Structure 1
Protein backbone atom coordinates (compact mmCIF):
# COMPACT_ATOMS: atom_id res chain seq x y z
CA UNK A 1 0.00 0.00 0.00
CA UNK A 2 1.30 3.45 -0.92
CA UNK A 3 0.85 6.25 1.58
CA UNK A 4 0.55 9.86 0.49
CA UNK A 5 2.36 12.48 2.57
CA UNK A 6 0.41 14.93 4.70
CA UNK A 7 1.75 18.20 6.04
CA UNK A 8 1.01 19.98 9.31
CA UNK A 9 2.66 23.39 9.28
CA UNK A 10 3.09 25.67 12.27
CA UNK A 11 4.55 29.05 11.35
CA UNK A 12 4.44 32.72 12.28
CA UNK A 13 4.20 34.13 8.76
CA UNK A 14 4.53 33.51 5.00
CA UNK A 15 7.14 30.92 4.09
CA UNK A 16 7.41 31.38 0.31
CA UNK A 17 9.83 33.97 -1.02
CA UNK A 18 8.22 35.00 -4.32
CA UNK A 19 9.99 37.50 -6.59
CA UNK A 20 9.24 38.79 -10.09
CA UNK A 21 12.38 40.75 -10.88
CA UNK A 22 12.62 41.61 -14.57
CA UNK A 23 9.08 40.42 -15.30
CA UNK A 24 6.43 42.65 -16.85
CA UNK A 25 2.98 42.48 -15.29
CA UNK A 26 -0.14 44.21 -16.61
CA UNK A 27 -2.93 44.68 -14.05
CA UNK A 28 -6.40 46.00 -14.87
CA UNK A 29 -8.84 47.63 -12.45
CA UNK A 30 -5.85 49.10 -10.62
CA UNK A 31 -7.51 52.30 -9.38
CA UNK A 32 -8.71 50.64 -6.17
CA UNK A 33 -9.55 47.38 -4.44
CA UNK A 34 -8.17 44.11 -5.78
CA UNK A 35 -6.42 45.66 -8.77
CA UNK A 36 -4.58 48.16 -6.59
CA UNK A 37 -3.53 45.48 -4.10
CA UNK A 38 -2.32 43.21 -6.92
CA UNK A 39 -0.38 46.04 -8.56
CA UNK A 40 1.36 47.03 -5.32
CA UNK A 41 2.12 43.39 -4.45
CA UNK A 42 3.88 42.76 -7.76
CA UNK A 43 5.75 46.08 -7.67
CA UNK A 44 7.01 45.32 -4.16
CA UNK A 45 8.43 42.04 -5.49
CA UNK A 46 10.42 43.58 -8.30
CA UNK A 47 8.03 43.36 -11.24
CA UNK A 48 7.69 46.01 -13.94
CA UNK A 49 4.03 46.76 -13.32
CA UNK A 50 1.69 48.47 -15.77
CA UNK A 51 -1.45 49.34 -13.84
CA UNK A 52 -4.51 50.44 -15.82
CA UNK A 53 -8.09 51.55 -15.25
CA UNK A 54 -10.59 54.10 -16.60
CA UNK A 55 -10.48 55.90 -13.23
CA UNK A 56 -7.54 58.27 -13.68
CA UNK A 57 -7.79 59.80 -10.18
CA UNK A 58 -7.72 56.38 -8.55
CA UNK A 59 -4.75 55.36 -10.68
CA UNK A 60 -2.83 58.38 -9.46
CA UNK A 61 -3.52 57.31 -5.88
CA UNK A 62 -2.19 53.84 -6.69
CA UNK A 63 0.88 55.42 -8.26
CA UNK A 64 1.47 57.59 -5.17
CA UNK A 65 1.14 54.60 -2.85
CA UNK A 66 3.68 52.66 -4.87
CA UNK A 67 6.11 55.59 -4.76
CA UNK A 68 5.72 55.84 -0.98
CA UNK A 69 6.69 52.16 -0.74
CA UNK A 70 9.68 52.71 -3.04
CA UNK A 71 8.22 50.27 -5.55
CA UNK A 72 7.25 52.47 -8.52
CA UNK A 73 4.93 51.36 -11.28
CA UNK A 74 3.54 52.68 -14.55
CA UNK A 75 -0.11 53.78 -14.77
CA UNK A 76 -2.23 54.14 -17.88
CA UNK A 77 -5.87 55.14 -18.36
CA UNK A 78 -7.34 52.34 -20.46
CA UNK A 79 -10.86 51.13 -21.21
CA UNK A 80 -10.51 47.33 -21.16
CA UNK A 81 -13.61 46.96 -23.35
CA UNK A 82 -11.78 48.79 -26.16
CA UNK A 83 -9.78 46.19 -28.11
CA UNK A 84 -7.51 48.75 -29.78
CA UNK A 85 -6.69 50.44 -26.47
CA UNK A 86 -5.85 47.08 -24.92
CA UNK A 87 -3.55 46.16 -27.79
CA UNK A 88 -1.82 49.55 -27.58
CA UNK A 89 -1.11 49.09 -23.87
CA UNK A 90 0.27 45.58 -24.36
CA UNK A 91 2.47 46.82 -27.21
CA UNK A 92 3.81 49.66 -25.07
CA UNK A 93 4.45 47.44 -22.04
CA UNK A 94 6.11 44.70 -24.06
CA UNK A 95 8.37 47.23 -25.74
CA UNK A 96 9.87 48.38 -22.44
CA UNK A 97 10.80 45.04 -20.88
CA UNK A 98 10.39 41.31 -21.23
CA UNK A 99 7.70 39.72 -19.12
CA UNK A 100 5.07 37.06 -18.87
CA UNK A 101 2.16 37.92 -16.60
CA UNK A 102 -1.23 39.56 -17.00
CA UNK A 103 -3.95 39.97 -14.41
CA UNK A 104 -7.53 40.88 -15.30
CA UNK A 105 -10.49 41.91 -13.18
CA UNK A 106 -13.83 43.63 -13.74
CA UNK A 107 -16.75 44.95 -11.71
CA UNK A 108 -20.42 45.87 -11.57
CA UNK A 109 -20.03 49.43 -12.96
CA UNK A 110 -22.11 50.92 -10.15
CA UNK A 111 -25.12 48.77 -10.91
CA UNK A 112 -27.32 47.26 -8.19
CA UNK A 113 -29.56 44.23 -8.09
CA UNK A 114 -32.92 44.74 -9.82
CA UNK A 115 -35.72 42.43 -11.01
CA UNK A 116 -35.03 40.67 -14.28
CA UNK A 117 -37.72 42.53 -16.20
CA UNK A 118 -36.15 45.90 -15.33
CA UNK A 119 -32.73 45.14 -16.86
CA UNK A 120 -31.97 47.12 -19.99
CA UNK A 121 -29.88 45.88 -22.88
CA UNK A 122 -27.14 48.45 -22.30
CA UNK A 123 -26.77 47.54 -18.62
CA UNK A 124 -26.55 43.84 -19.48
CA UNK A 125 -23.90 44.29 -22.17
CA UNK A 126 -21.84 46.85 -20.21
CA UNK A 127 -21.00 44.33 -17.50
CA UNK A 128 -20.10 41.68 -20.09
CA UNK A 129 -17.81 44.14 -21.88
CA UNK A 130 -15.78 44.83 -18.74
CA UNK A 131 -15.75 41.37 -17.15
CA UNK A 132 -15.63 39.08 -20.19
CA UNK A 133 -14.66 41.06 -23.28
CA UNK A 134 -11.78 42.69 -21.40
CA UNK A 135 -10.44 39.32 -20.29
CA UNK A 136 -10.64 38.04 -23.87
CA UNK A 137 -9.01 41.14 -25.40
CA UNK A 138 -6.05 41.09 -23.01
CA UNK A 139 -5.52 37.36 -23.42
CA UNK A 140 -5.66 37.79 -27.19
CA UNK A 141 -3.14 40.65 -27.09
CA UNK A 142 -0.55 38.96 -24.86
CA UNK A 143 -0.80 35.42 -26.30
CA UNK A 144 1.54 35.99 -29.31
CA UNK A 145 4.21 37.50 -27.04
CA UNK A 146 3.96 34.67 -24.54
CA UNK A 147 4.02 32.04 -27.29
CA UNK A 148 7.20 33.58 -28.71
CA UNK A 149 8.86 33.35 -25.30
CA UNK A 150 7.52 29.91 -24.52
CA UNK A 151 6.17 31.04 -21.14
CA UNK A 152 3.46 33.19 -19.62
CA UNK A 153 0.91 33.60 -16.89
CA UNK A 154 -2.69 34.79 -17.31
CA UNK A 155 -4.68 35.20 -14.10
CA UNK A 156 -8.32 36.24 -14.30
CA UNK A 157 -10.27 37.56 -11.32
CA UNK A 158 -13.79 36.21 -11.33
CA UNK A 159 -16.00 35.93 -8.24
CA UNK A 160 -17.86 33.49 -6.07
CA UNK A 161 -20.79 34.75 -8.14
CA UNK A 162 -19.34 32.91 -11.11
CA UNK A 163 -19.50 29.63 -9.20
CA UNK A 164 -22.89 30.08 -7.60
CA UNK A 165 -25.20 33.05 -7.20
CA UNK A 166 -24.27 36.69 -6.78
CA UNK A 167 -24.82 38.47 -3.47
CA UNK A 168 -25.38 41.61 -5.55
CA UNK A 169 -28.39 40.11 -7.32
CA UNK A 170 -26.99 41.40 -10.62
CA UNK A 171 -27.80 38.80 -13.26
CA UNK A 172 -25.22 40.04 -15.77
CA UNK A 173 -22.45 39.96 -13.19
CA UNK A 174 -23.05 36.33 -12.22
CA UNK A 175 -23.35 35.37 -15.89
CA UNK A 176 -20.25 37.23 -17.04
CA UNK A 177 -18.12 35.84 -14.21
CA UNK A 178 -19.29 32.29 -14.98
CA UNK A 179 -18.42 32.86 -18.63
CA UNK A 180 -15.01 34.19 -17.63
CA UNK A 181 -14.35 30.94 -15.75
CA UNK A 182 -15.27 29.02 -18.90
CA UNK A 183 -12.88 31.19 -20.91
CA UNK A 184 -10.12 30.50 -18.37
CA UNK A 185 -10.49 26.74 -18.74
CA UNK A 186 -10.67 26.88 -22.52
CA UNK A 187 -7.59 29.09 -22.87
CA UNK A 188 -5.64 26.89 -20.47
CA UNK A 189 -5.99 24.00 -22.92
CA UNK A 190 -5.33 26.13 -25.97
CA UNK A 191 -2.20 27.84 -24.64
CA UNK A 192 -0.64 25.17 -22.44
CA UNK A 193 1.57 23.78 -25.22
CA UNK A 194 3.52 27.07 -25.19
CA UNK A 195 4.19 26.97 -21.45
CA UNK A 196 1.41 29.46 -20.73
CA UNK A 197 -0.80 28.89 -17.71
CA UNK A 198 -4.28 30.39 -17.39
CA UNK A 199 -5.92 30.40 -13.97
CA UNK A 200 -8.68 32.18 -12.10
CA UNK A 201 -9.10 33.58 -8.60
CA UNK A 202 -12.70 33.67 -7.34
CA UNK A 203 -12.92 36.04 -4.36
CA UNK A 204 -15.62 35.92 -1.76
CA UNK A 205 -17.13 39.12 -0.41
CA UNK A 206 -14.41 41.66 0.44
CA UNK A 207 -14.90 45.28 1.41
CA UNK A 208 -12.54 46.58 -1.24
CA UNK A 209 -14.10 49.62 -2.98
CA UNK A 210 -17.01 52.08 -2.76
CA UNK A 211 -19.41 49.59 -4.38
CA UNK A 212 -18.70 46.82 -1.86
CA UNK A 213 -18.88 49.34 1.00
CA UNK A 214 -22.38 50.32 -0.11
CA UNK A 215 -23.29 46.66 -0.43
CA UNK A 216 -21.99 45.95 3.08
CA UNK A 217 -23.96 48.83 4.57
CA UNK A 218 -27.13 47.69 2.80
CA UNK A 219 -27.09 44.39 4.71
CA UNK A 220 -27.52 46.04 8.10
CA UNK A 221 -26.13 44.55 11.31
CA UNK A 222 -28.14 41.34 11.09
CA UNK A 223 -27.25 40.70 7.45
CA UNK A 224 -23.58 41.43 8.11
CA UNK A 225 -23.59 38.98 11.00
CA UNK A 226 -25.22 36.27 8.85
CA UNK A 227 -22.68 36.76 6.09
CA UNK A 228 -19.74 36.37 8.49
CA UNK A 229 -21.36 33.41 10.26
CA UNK A 230 -21.51 31.61 6.90
CA UNK A 231 -17.73 31.95 6.46
CA UNK A 232 -15.66 29.13 7.94
CA UNK A 233 -13.02 31.54 9.27
CA UNK A 234 -15.69 33.87 10.73
CA UNK A 235 -14.19 37.03 9.27
CA UNK A 236 -13.99 38.98 6.04
CA UNK A 237 -10.87 38.91 3.92
CA UNK A 238 -8.88 41.80 2.47
CA UNK A 239 -7.66 42.81 -1.00
CA UNK A 240 -4.23 41.52 0.01
CA UNK A 241 -5.70 38.01 0.42
CA UNK A 242 -6.73 38.12 -3.23
CA UNK A 243 -3.38 39.55 -4.31
CA UNK A 244 -1.54 36.72 -2.57
CA UNK A 245 -3.53 34.12 -4.52
CA UNK A 246 -2.63 35.90 -7.75
CA UNK A 247 1.05 35.96 -6.76
CA UNK A 248 0.93 32.19 -6.34
CA UNK A 249 -0.60 31.59 -9.76
CA UNK A 250 1.96 33.92 -11.35
CA UNK A 251 4.93 32.35 -9.57
CA UNK A 252 7.13 29.40 -10.43
CA UNK A 253 5.38 27.48 -7.63
CA UNK A 254 2.37 27.20 -9.95
CA UNK A 255 4.31 26.10 -13.03
CA UNK A 256 2.20 22.93 -13.43
CA UNK A 257 -1.12 24.47 -12.40
CA UNK A 258 -3.48 25.65 -15.13
CA UNK A 259 -7.19 25.86 -15.86
CA UNK A 260 -7.90 26.12 -12.13
CA UNK A 261 -10.33 28.26 -10.17
CA UNK A 262 -9.15 29.12 -6.66
CA UNK A 263 -11.90 30.28 -4.30
CA UNK A 264 -10.46 32.78 -1.84
CA UNK A 265 -13.45 33.29 0.41
CA UNK A 266 -12.55 32.23 3.95
CA UNK A 267 -14.25 28.87 3.44
CA UNK A 268 -17.84 28.18 2.42
Structure 2
Protein backbone atom coordinates (compact mmCIF):
# COMPACT_ATOMS: atom_id res chain seq x y z
CA UNK A 1 0.00 0.00 0.00
CA UNK A 2 1.49 3.32 -1.08
CA UNK A 3 0.51 6.01 1.41
CA UNK A 4 1.61 9.46 0.26
CA UNK A 5 0.48 12.87 1.43
CA UNK A 6 2.59 15.06 -0.86
CA UNK A 7 0.85 18.40 -1.40
CA UNK A 8 -1.61 17.84 1.44
CA UNK A 9 -2.08 19.99 4.53
CA UNK A 10 -2.67 18.26 7.86
CA UNK A 11 -3.65 19.63 11.29
CA UNK A 12 -2.92 17.48 14.34
CA UNK A 13 -4.13 18.52 17.80
CA UNK A 14 -2.53 17.36 21.05
CA UNK A 15 0.81 16.90 19.29
CA UNK A 16 3.20 17.61 22.17
CA UNK A 17 3.76 13.94 23.01
CA UNK A 18 2.41 10.42 22.66
CA UNK A 19 -0.11 9.69 19.92
CA UNK A 20 -0.21 13.25 18.60
CA UNK A 21 3.54 13.46 18.20
CA UNK A 22 3.72 10.08 16.46
CA UNK A 23 0.87 11.06 14.13
CA UNK A 24 2.39 14.44 13.26
CA UNK A 25 5.78 12.86 12.52
CA UNK A 26 4.21 10.09 10.42
CA UNK A 27 2.40 12.62 8.23
CA UNK A 28 5.61 14.64 7.84
CA UNK A 29 7.57 11.52 6.89
CA UNK A 30 4.92 10.84 4.23
CA UNK A 31 5.22 14.26 2.64
CA UNK A 32 2.45 16.33 4.24
CA UNK A 33 2.62 19.93 5.35
CA UNK A 34 1.94 19.41 9.06
CA UNK A 35 0.58 21.95 11.53
CA UNK A 36 0.70 20.67 15.11
CA UNK A 37 -0.92 22.30 18.11
CA UNK A 38 -1.06 21.79 21.87
CA UNK A 39 -0.94 23.80 25.10
CA UNK A 40 2.38 22.18 26.04
CA UNK A 41 4.99 24.52 24.52
CA UNK A 42 8.04 22.46 25.48
CA UNK A 43 6.47 19.27 24.16
CA UNK A 44 5.61 20.96 20.87
CA UNK A 45 9.17 22.20 20.56
CA UNK A 46 10.42 18.64 21.03
CA UNK A 47 8.03 17.40 18.32
CA UNK A 48 9.41 20.02 15.94
CA UNK A 49 12.99 19.16 16.93
CA UNK A 50 12.44 15.47 16.21
CA UNK A 51 11.07 16.36 12.79
CA UNK A 52 14.02 18.64 12.07
CA UNK A 53 16.42 15.87 13.07
CA UNK A 54 15.01 13.86 10.15
CA UNK A 55 15.18 16.83 7.78
CA UNK A 56 11.44 17.54 8.08
CA UNK A 57 9.46 20.60 9.10
CA UNK A 58 6.43 20.70 11.39
CA UNK A 59 4.74 24.03 12.09
CA UNK A 60 3.73 24.30 15.75
CA UNK A 61 1.21 26.58 17.44
CA UNK A 62 0.06 26.89 21.04
CA UNK A 63 -3.71 26.51 20.97
CA UNK A 64 -6.39 25.71 23.53
CA UNK A 65 -8.71 23.38 21.60
CA UNK A 66 -11.65 24.45 23.74
CA UNK A 67 -11.26 28.10 22.70
CA UNK A 68 -13.38 28.57 19.59
CA UNK A 69 -11.76 31.84 18.55
CA UNK A 70 -8.25 30.35 18.84
CA UNK A 71 -9.31 27.30 16.83
CA UNK A 72 -10.80 29.44 14.06
CA UNK A 73 -7.65 31.59 14.00
CA UNK A 74 -5.35 28.60 13.58
CA UNK A 75 -7.41 27.05 10.79
CA UNK A 76 -7.60 30.41 9.01
CA UNK A 77 -3.81 30.75 9.27
CA UNK A 78 -3.25 27.25 7.90
CA UNK A 79 -5.64 27.79 4.99
CA UNK A 80 -4.08 31.16 4.15
CA UNK A 81 -0.58 29.72 4.20
CA UNK A 82 -1.21 26.54 2.22
CA UNK A 83 -4.44 27.18 0.34
CA UNK A 84 -6.16 24.08 1.69
CA UNK A 85 -6.93 21.81 4.64
CA UNK A 86 -6.91 18.13 3.72
CA UNK A 87 -6.72 16.24 7.01
CA UNK A 88 -7.73 17.03 10.58
CA UNK A 89 -6.71 14.70 13.39
CA UNK A 90 -8.52 15.48 16.66
CA UNK A 91 -6.12 13.85 19.10
CA UNK A 92 -6.18 16.35 21.98
CA UNK A 93 -7.81 14.86 25.05
CA UNK A 94 -7.06 12.92 28.16
CA UNK A 95 -8.05 12.98 31.82
CA UNK A 96 -6.34 16.28 32.75
CA UNK A 97 -4.68 14.77 35.79
CA UNK A 98 -7.92 13.48 37.27
CA UNK A 99 -8.13 10.11 38.98
CA UNK A 100 -10.99 7.72 39.57
CA UNK A 101 -13.30 8.82 42.40
CA UNK A 102 -16.82 7.92 43.55
CA UNK A 103 -19.58 9.54 41.50
CA UNK A 104 -20.78 11.72 44.35
CA UNK A 105 -17.35 13.36 44.66
CA UNK A 106 -17.19 14.60 41.07
CA UNK A 107 -17.62 18.36 40.69
CA UNK A 108 -19.34 19.96 37.72
CA UNK A 109 -16.07 21.73 36.89
CA UNK A 110 -14.14 18.46 36.72
CA UNK A 111 -16.83 16.86 34.57
CA UNK A 112 -16.99 19.77 32.11
CA UNK A 113 -13.19 20.15 31.90
CA UNK A 114 -12.81 16.67 30.44
CA UNK A 115 -15.68 17.21 28.00
CA UNK A 116 -14.19 20.55 26.95
CA UNK A 117 -10.93 19.07 25.69
CA UNK A 118 -12.18 15.69 24.46
CA UNK A 119 -15.51 16.63 22.83
CA UNK A 120 -15.71 20.41 22.46
CA UNK A 121 -12.23 20.51 20.92
CA UNK A 122 -13.14 17.92 18.29
CA UNK A 123 -16.39 19.73 17.50
CA UNK A 124 -14.76 23.17 17.24
CA UNK A 125 -11.95 22.00 14.96
CA UNK A 126 -14.34 20.04 12.72
CA UNK A 127 -16.55 23.11 12.53
CA UNK A 128 -13.58 25.28 11.56
CA UNK A 129 -12.20 23.01 8.82
CA UNK A 130 -15.57 22.05 7.30
CA UNK A 131 -15.94 25.12 5.01
CA UNK A 132 -12.47 24.57 3.55
CA UNK A 133 -13.03 20.86 2.99
CA UNK A 134 -16.47 21.53 1.47
CA UNK A 135 -14.96 24.01 -0.95
CA UNK A 136 -12.36 21.40 -1.96
CA UNK A 137 -15.05 18.70 -2.03
CA UNK A 138 -12.65 16.44 -0.18
CA UNK A 139 -11.20 15.94 3.28
CA UNK A 140 -10.46 13.56 6.08
CA UNK A 141 -11.39 14.04 9.74
CA UNK A 142 -10.02 11.45 12.15
CA UNK A 143 -10.94 11.53 15.83
CA UNK A 144 -8.90 9.69 18.45
CA UNK A 145 -11.16 8.25 21.11
CA UNK A 146 -10.39 5.33 23.42
CA UNK A 147 -11.46 1.85 24.34
CA UNK A 148 -13.11 3.65 27.26
CA UNK A 149 -15.60 5.13 24.80
CA UNK A 150 -16.67 1.65 23.72
CA UNK A 151 -16.69 0.07 27.16
CA UNK A 152 -15.50 1.46 30.48
CA UNK A 153 -12.57 3.54 31.67
CA UNK A 154 -9.85 1.42 33.30
CA UNK A 155 -9.26 4.31 35.69
CA UNK A 156 -12.95 4.67 36.59
CA UNK A 157 -13.17 8.27 35.40
CA UNK A 158 -16.82 8.73 34.51
CA UNK A 159 -16.34 11.89 32.43
CA UNK A 160 -13.60 10.32 30.32
CA UNK A 161 -15.63 7.27 29.33
CA UNK A 162 -18.64 9.48 28.64
CA UNK A 163 -16.68 12.06 26.63
CA UNK A 164 -15.03 9.44 24.44
CA UNK A 165 -18.42 7.82 23.79
CA UNK A 166 -19.76 11.25 22.85
CA UNK A 167 -16.85 11.76 20.48
CA UNK A 168 -17.67 8.48 18.76
CA UNK A 169 -21.28 9.68 18.37
CA UNK A 170 -20.01 12.95 16.90
CA UNK A 171 -17.88 10.96 14.43
CA UNK A 172 -20.88 9.04 13.12
CA UNK A 173 -23.09 12.11 12.90
CA UNK A 174 -20.52 14.21 11.04
CA UNK A 175 -19.80 11.36 8.63
CA UNK A 176 -23.41 11.55 7.45
CA UNK A 177 -23.53 15.34 7.41
CA UNK A 178 -20.29 15.88 5.49
CA UNK A 179 -20.21 12.84 3.23
CA UNK A 180 -21.84 14.50 0.22
CA UNK A 181 -18.79 16.78 -0.06
CA UNK A 182 -16.39 13.86 -0.23
CA UNK A 183 -15.36 14.29 3.41
CA UNK A 184 -14.86 11.15 5.49
CA UNK A 185 -15.04 11.15 9.28
CA UNK A 186 -13.65 8.18 11.18
CA UNK A 187 -12.48 7.27 14.64
CA UNK A 188 -9.52 5.37 16.08
CA UNK A 189 -10.09 3.84 19.52
CA UNK A 190 -6.72 2.93 21.07
CA UNK A 191 -6.25 0.34 23.74
CA UNK A 192 -3.86 0.94 26.63
CA UNK A 193 -0.56 2.41 25.42
CA UNK A 194 2.24 3.81 27.54
CA UNK A 195 2.43 7.05 25.62
CA UNK A 196 2.63 9.98 28.07
CA UNK A 197 3.19 10.83 31.76
CA UNK A 198 -0.43 10.03 32.64
CA UNK A 199 -0.34 6.52 31.16
CA UNK A 200 3.05 5.89 32.77
CA UNK A 201 1.55 6.67 36.19
CA UNK A 202 -1.42 4.45 35.37
CA UNK A 203 0.89 1.60 34.36
CA UNK A 204 2.92 1.93 37.57
CA UNK A 205 -0.24 1.95 39.68
CA UNK A 206 -1.15 -1.56 38.51
CA UNK A 207 1.92 -3.15 40.06
CA UNK A 208 3.66 -6.18 38.64
CA UNK A 209 0.66 -8.50 38.90
CA UNK A 210 -1.78 -5.96 37.44
CA UNK A 211 0.57 -5.27 34.55
CA UNK A 212 0.86 -8.98 33.83
CA UNK A 213 -2.93 -9.40 33.84
CA UNK A 214 -3.42 -6.44 31.52
CA UNK A 215 -0.96 -7.81 28.95
CA UNK A 216 -2.40 -11.34 29.24
CA UNK A 217 -5.81 -9.89 28.40
CA UNK A 218 -4.50 -8.68 25.02
CA UNK A 219 -4.65 -11.24 22.20
CA UNK A 220 -1.22 -10.26 20.88
CA UNK A 221 0.23 -10.34 24.42
CA UNK A 222 1.94 -6.97 24.14
CA UNK A 223 1.15 -3.33 24.73
CA UNK A 224 0.74 -1.08 21.74
CA UNK A 225 2.92 1.86 20.78
CA UNK A 226 2.12 5.38 19.54
CA UNK A 227 3.28 4.25 16.10
CA UNK A 228 0.57 1.56 16.08
CA UNK A 229 -2.02 4.31 16.51
CA UNK A 230 -0.36 6.53 13.91
CA UNK A 231 -0.50 3.68 11.37
CA UNK A 232 -4.29 3.43 11.75
CA UNK A 233 -4.59 7.19 11.27
CA UNK A 234 -2.44 7.00 8.12
CA UNK A 235 -4.85 4.45 6.68
CA UNK A 236 -7.99 6.47 7.41
CA UNK A 237 -6.34 9.58 5.92
CA UNK A 238 -5.19 7.77 2.78
CA UNK A 239 -6.82 7.39 -0.62
CA UNK A 240 -7.30 3.69 0.17
CA UNK A 241 -9.93 4.62 2.78
CA UNK A 242 -11.95 6.77 0.39
CA UNK A 243 -15.16 4.75 0.83
CA UNK A 244 -14.90 4.28 4.59
CA UNK A 245 -16.70 6.76 6.84
CA UNK A 246 -18.43 6.81 10.20
CA UNK A 247 -16.35 3.89 11.44
CA UNK A 248 -14.57 3.16 14.69
CA UNK A 249 -11.37 1.12 14.48
CA UNK A 250 -10.21 -0.45 17.74
CA UNK A 251 -6.43 -0.55 17.78
CA UNK A 252 -5.92 -2.55 20.95
CA UNK A 253 -4.01 -5.72 20.12
CA UNK A 254 -7.22 -7.77 20.20
CA UNK A 255 -9.61 -8.02 23.11
2: CA distance between counterparts of 1:19 and 1:215? 36
Residue by residue over 1:23-73, the C-alpha shift from the partner in whole angstroms, topping out at 9 and shown as x without a partner, is 110000000000000000001111000000000010001010010011111
1: CA distance between counterparts of 2:198 and 2:138? 36
* Pairing partner for 2:182 from 195, 199, 202: 195
Per-residue deviation, 1:17 = 2.1
Higher Rg of the two aligned structures: 1
1: CA distance between counterparts of 2:79 and 2:97? 32
1:109 aligns with 2:96: yes
- Unpaired segments ≥5 residues, structure 1: 1-15
1:254 aligns with 2:237: no
What SS does structure 1 have at the residue aligned with 2:142?
Answer: strand
Matches within 5 A, 1:50-199: 50-97=35-82, 98-105=84-91, 106-199=93-186
* Pairing partner for 1:212 from 184, 199, 202: 199
2: CA distance between counterparts of 1:153 and 1:70? 26
Quote the RMSD (CA, aligned, Å).
0.6
TM-score (norm. length: structure 2): 0.98
What SS does structure 2 have at the residue aligned with 1:37?
Answer: helix
What SS does structure 2 have at the residue aligned with 1:26?
Answer: strand
* Pairing partner for 1:30 from 12, 15, 19: 15
Q: Tell me, yes or no, if the aligned pair for 1:22 and 1:99 is still in contact at 8 Å.
A: no
1: CA distance between counterparts of 2:54 and 2:207? 36
Show the counterpart of 1:4. none
2: CA distance between counterparts of 1:184 and 1:220? 35
What SS does structure 2 have at the residue aligned with 1:153?
Answer: strand
TM-score (norm. length: structure 1): 0.94
Show the counterpart of 1:8. none
Q: Tell me, yes or no, if the aligned pair for 2:189 and 2:250 is still in contact at 8 Å.
A: yes
What SS does structure 1 have at the residue aligned with 2:133?
Answer: helix
2: CA distance between counterparts of 1:182 and 1:258? 13
* Pairing partner for 1:48 from 13, 25, 33: 33
- Unpaired segments ≥5 residues, structure 2: none
How many equivalent pairs are there? 253
What SS does structure 2 have at the residue aligned with 1:20?
Answer: coil
